[in-house]
Structure 1
Amino acid sequence: MDNVGGVEQPRRIVAIFYVLAAIALGVFLERVLQLVFNAAGLNDRNVFSDWNVSTVVGFGIAAITAIVVWRIPKTQQVSLEIALELRRVTWPSLRETRAATVAVIVASAVAALVLGLFDVVWGWLSAQLY
């Protein structure tokens, strides 16, 4: 990790994120290519034991995309800055997270009850008028 301004740049974390993003993109592209092959009536042949043409092409495009994006200096710098900012974030404790979750659930339930009451009243009024 590089040390810039007394703060280590988390290159390893950013590189792991790029690998995970490439895997996710590869899975997505594999599925899209399978759909394209099926729609076009083309045979998605096996290249290796369990790898079809769509798998190889999808993951190949994803890997090339990840490498190209990583090699762009501006993208790399922004990624490292984002990782540094995330290190500086003060994350809520488990207790605070539970309290906030309960508050959201209670507020949602109250809002649902109020809207449900309005719906019942409006439905009754509409039935009386029409």
Structure 2
Amino acid sequence: MEIVGNRAIETAAIKYVIMRELEAGRTAYDVRGTGAPADVASPPRMIEVKAYGKSARGTDLWLEVRQVEEALRNADFWIYVVENVRQGDPNRFTLKMLGGEHLHKLLKRAKEQRYYTVPWPVADYDALA
């Protein structure tokens, strides 16, 4: 069954990552909304999950400043890219895990950008002609 909406795709990807971490023998849990620098704690790893409805091939990874800082100081910071989530079957999700020297190599090419996000509630959107 197709997964619709960014939050639902993200939640499915995080559940998938937690399952994969459990299979690897680590105890993982969702830490969104706790002030943690990433989405999943799986000691000793801290994992930022990037969820994609289809493929992430050729896209940039968007990270918060605190995530880049954490990745540079914490050797156990990882980015897990979960792809093909929208179609809904976890058996068909793909996972790319970025950590250690590989992640540090990518971070050397990072470009800081400053921007603002302005909340635009659905009610406001719907009120416009």
TM-score, normalization by structure 2: 0.25
Q: Report the structure number with the largest CA radius of gyration.
A: 1
Hey, which of these two has a bigger chunk of helix by percent?
1
Hey, which of these two has a bigger chunk of strand by percent?
2
